Structure 1
Amino acid sequence: MTREQLQSASDRLSAAADDATDDLATALQDQADRLHDLAEREYSVDHGTLARVETKLGHLEEDAPEAIAEAVSAAHDDVIAFRSTVEGV
């Protein structure tokens, strides 16, 4: 199973964090790091973990200025694309 979408999401969030300030930058980088870890781990990623990431990204998108929200939305789309490849639920 490819995890390129998770790494893409991580890269998008990390770049968005560079353009954000203070708490938003920290939250974006935290999620970028989380997605990078998920992309690199050797064992599978479950739907529950991905659902929590999606929820967090939704909140970040709502709180971000438009340009940053677009990057978060694209990262969210990457996570959704990856999640569609995960077996189960």
Structure 2
Amino acid sequence: RWGLVNRVYEADELVPAAMKLAHDMCGSQPDLLKQYKALIDDGYGMNFAAALKEEVKRSIAHSESVTADAVEEARKQVTARGRDQQG
């Protein structure tokens, strides 16, 4: 599920849950996470239309650089990550 809010925590559970999510995000695909962070940071200096165009431009550039081997490796990482999350 995606949305503005997809989980609600008690106050004492919030920071541990946020830290767990941050750890999970950092462990998934660090290079991709850095690219998204740069896109967000750069987007703050643009109006909405320009930011959307920049997102499309970077998405296309990234898509054109991805190889079949890279997709397979990412698939393996996501599968392993899912297994780890299930315990």
TM-score, normalisation: structure 1: 0.33
> TM-score normalised to the size of structure 2?
0.33
Structure with larger Rg: 2
